[in-house]
Amino acid sequence: MNANAAMIFRIDDVSANTDLHRLDLLIRAIRGRVPSVEIILAVSPLVHDMRKEPDRDRERAFPRLLSAMSDHREFFKVGKGGDPTDRSMFDEFMVVSHGLVHVDHRLLSRETQELSIVTSCSLLGTSTFVPPFNKWNADTESVCSEHAIRLVKFEEGWRHVKHNRFSREQRLWYFHTFDVTPNELDAWLSAGDVRMSA
């Protein structure tokens, strides 16, 4: 990550389900309001096929009924794969791993975490891992350390766009493409004192 960037915006759950036009508009909204910004794309290479879900859920990596503490095996039932950032329009952005599948890695054995983290980082050509659900444990940290992979921790000060007011004093922000429209993001960035609607 660029230590010189005034602000960093991380977009999580970028996947084969992501609407790339929408992603581009979200990035443009950020860049239009925030000078000296770094954009990070956290990619989930294997995701559920969401084409039959309601429109609002089609960009998600997994069905809405699942949560961090759901049976971890449900997250393995993927139907789509790929890296949508593997095209020239994303060359200038930092691409990082969000795990081979979007699952709370604390629920996995150390060996399975290693498979997910190392394989996904290798596929994406990155040495940075953002744990799904912002959840990690000593095994996650150990695997990352052993393989010289940077573990991005929520505890470093990340704040979610949808649940916090915008402040230029806050440096680390994250969200998902399905959390907010480009117009809502632009309004949030310009108002500073408005929270996103639920």
List pLDDT tens digits, range 86-114.
888 888 999 999 999 999 999 999 999 99
Residues of the domain holding 68: 7-191
- pLDDT exceeds cutoff 70 at 172: yes
Domain count within the chain: 1
Q: What CATH number should be reported for the domain holding residue 71?
A: 3.20.20
Look at residue 113 and tell me if it is in a domain: yes
Residue 196 resides in a domain: no
* Mean of all residue pLDDT scores within the chain: 92
What does the block give as tokens for 62? 């997994």
CA torsion sign for 82, 61, 25, 20 is: positive
Q: pTM of the full predicted structure?
A: 0.91
CA dihedral 64, 69, 71, 72 (to 10 degrees): 90
> Is pLDDT of 70 > 90?
no
Confirm whether 198 is domain-assigned.
no
